[in-house]
Structure 1
């Protein structure tokens, strides 16, 4: 089953993390600490990152 997690970023954004069977994909990872912390806390491996456009609030954590 896919599980989707919204990770708060900045004051008004979210990083979307989708997980399945120990693997994760992040969408618009604007801040790395939120992603790396969540991955570590939940024992997940990052499989891919999807960036929808080049603004820093969507790419800063790549």
Structure 2
């Protein structure tokens, strides 16, 4: 279940949703909220996104991308 981005927790793997050109999209990699912003949980790089919603990242999400 998607939750409002204002309630996103810090330092845990989350799946983010963003809206591009009026269409919602799910990011296909886990992200972590940090004091500096959002980072890709797989490589630690900051991600330039403005997410609108989040949900828990499930381990099976990573496995299904392989």
Q: Classify the TM-score, shorter chain.
A: under 0.3
Pick the structure with more helix per residue. Answer: 1
Pick the structure with more strand per residue. Answer: 1
TM-score by length of 2: 0.27
